[in-house]
Amino acid sequence: MAFGKLWVIAFRDLGRNRRRTAFTLIAVALGLALLILLNGYLAGVTEESLQNSIRLRTGHVQLRAASYEEKKVSLQWRDLLDNVEERTAQASAQPEVKAAAPVLWATGIVNTADDSAGLQVIGIDTSSPIYDPVRESVIAGAFLTADDRSGILIGQRLADNLNLNAGDNVSLTLINADGEPEEGIFTVRGLFSTGIVSYDANTLFMPLAKAQAFAGTGDRASAILMLLHGQEDADAVAASLQVPGTIALTWNELNQLFLQTLETGMSFYLLLDAIVMLVVAVVIANTLLMAVFERIREMGILAALGMKARQIMLMFLLEAATIGVLGSILGIVLGLAGVAYLVYVGIYIGDLGATAQNVALGDTLHGRFVPVTFAWLTLWTLVVILVASLYPAWFAARREPVEALHSS
């Protein structure tokens, strides 16, 4: 029997029990839509968090003194970079480098008349394009200037927590390079809001020269940050800049904890994907088995008329394939609609983003279109459907004509 005739019979048989066929098709569509939505959401959150971290925290490459330990945020001279201007110029001369700037990190405590908060103090080159994201996120007051000796910039969330406004004075205390407490009065020049909850609530900026003087580090810096035109060049840039006594770290190494957490999370999502596909497979197998039991006598008649076992088996596989293709088309439409919502609107989580340590989550989570992933999910869904239909198809094909004809 020609393939076309087998497909016509298979398509006709699907219409015998339209309700069951419709429910099965909807189950396939919802399963694939859920897979597309979950993977689009995961891809968006992870990529957005990684890029936020690179853009606001780590850069693509960092050059540090070999003895510098990030956890200690050391201000001792032996742990800081010297010849900062020369090293920055050397980094900026690299064709792959978009911008390079020295930075000084310290931990401090801001005190007001009623409250206090621990935070990270960052001394920055106020003219560097590296800090354009912060400059563009200023919502009150003004950004810092290089010659400002008493101004600081803080996040809107920190300001709200301490009941501060632009123009207010605060006390800032830190432990300087000599291990002694250093306290000064500073004026809040401006407030910024990047949308990254943990960043906006725990970060204070001041001009690099003032930070160096306040911390007693001379003209030294904690690191030189670099943004590249393409992050794939990070390894080459790091290798070219590293000299004895220094260490060059790439964005991959600087975000290692986040990437390890992501790898662990991916195993969970793969398990979830497998569970969804298994549910779809069970639904398909159940539908075809019910169809087989309802049409045993019909199978016997077809076999008696000369239809071969492989043709009967192919007929049921075509039924499964038809449901799979139609369900997949509907699932792709529903899934892409859901991902589009996540991309352009997102899910607002507010301050919940602050609970994720070492992950630069914003107050709104967005999805991302990943066509290759979506295509693979669709293909694997179809494969699982066909595999799940093999047993019902084989069961139908192995029935002897005489036995099938006498079945009640």
Task: Take residue 158 and report the two structure tokens written for it.
Answer: 């920190």
Phi, psi (5° rounding) for residue 71? Answer: -65, -30
β-bridge partners, 97: 228
| Model confidence at 67: pLDDT above 60 | yes
pLDDT at 205: 96
Contact by Cβ (8 Å): 225, 42: no
| Model confidence at 398: pLDDT above 60 | yes
Identity of the residue numbered 249: L
What average pLDDT does the chain have? 83
Q: The whole model's pTM is what?
A: 0.77
Name the band, by pLDDT with cuts 50, 70 and 90, for residue 92. very high
H-assigned helices in 54-139 = 84-92, 132-136
Contacts of 228 (CB under 8 A, 6+ apart): 60, 61, 96, 97, 98, 234, 237
β-strand pairing of 203-207 with 116-124: parallel
Cα dihedral sign for 210, 216, 218, 223? negative
Contacts of 323 (CB under 8 A, 6+ apart): 14, 21, 24, 25, 28, 284, 287, 385
Alpha-carbon distance of 251 to 227, in angstroms, equals 10
Task: Take residue 263 and report the two structure tokens written for it.
Answer: 């790898």
CA separation, residue 28 to residues 33, 274, 346 (Å): 8, 14, 25
DSSP classification of residue 105: E
| Model confidence at 403: pLDDT above 80 | no
Q: What is the pLDDT of residues 376-389, one digit of tens each?
A: 999 988 888 888 87
Domain ranges of the chain: 3-53+258-405, 61-229
Contact by Cβ (8 Å): 277, 327: no
H-assigned helices in 305-370 = 309-344
Contact by Cβ (8 Å): 72, 209: no
Alpha-carbon distance of 211 to 177, in angstroms, equals 11
How many angstroms separate the first and last alpha carbons of the chain? 27
Q: Which of 298, 282, 301, 297 is nearest to 391 (CA)?
A: 282
Task: Take residue 47 and report the two structure tokens written for it.
Answer: 């990529």
Would you call 15 exposed, middle or buried from its count of C-beta atoms within 10 A (0-12, 13-18, 19+)?
exposed
Better-scored residue on pLDDT, 226 or 317: 226
Q: What mean pLDDT comes out for the span 255-281?
A: 77
pLDDT at 291: 64
> Which 3 state secondary structure label does DSSP give 307?
coil
Alpha-carbon distance of 273 to 287, in angstroms, equals 21
Task: Take residue 273 and report the two structure tokens written for it.
Answer: 């994907």
* Helix pair 309-344, 296-304: axis angle to 10 deg: 130
pLDDT at 402: 46
Phi, psi (5° rounding) for residue 110? Answer: -95, 130
Q: What is the pLDDT of residues 19-54, one digit of tens each?
A: 777 888 888 888 889 899 989 998 888 888 888 888
pLDDT at 404: 44
Identity of the residue numbered 42: L
Contact by Cβ (8 Å): 44, 368: yes
Alpha-carbon distance of 240 to 100, in angstroms, equals 14
Task: Take residue 370 and report the two structure tokens written for it.
Answer: 């990943």
Contacts of 83 (CB under 8 A, 6+ apart): none
CA separation, residue 238 to residues 91, 196, 255, 401 (Å): 10, 27, 15, 74
Q: What is the pLDDT of residues 270-279, one digit of tens each?
A: 787 788 888 8
Report the range out of 221-225, 391-395, 403-407 with the highest average pLDDT. Answer: 221-225
| Model confidence at 139: pLDDT above 90 | yes
β-strand pairing of 138-141 with 181-192: antiparallel
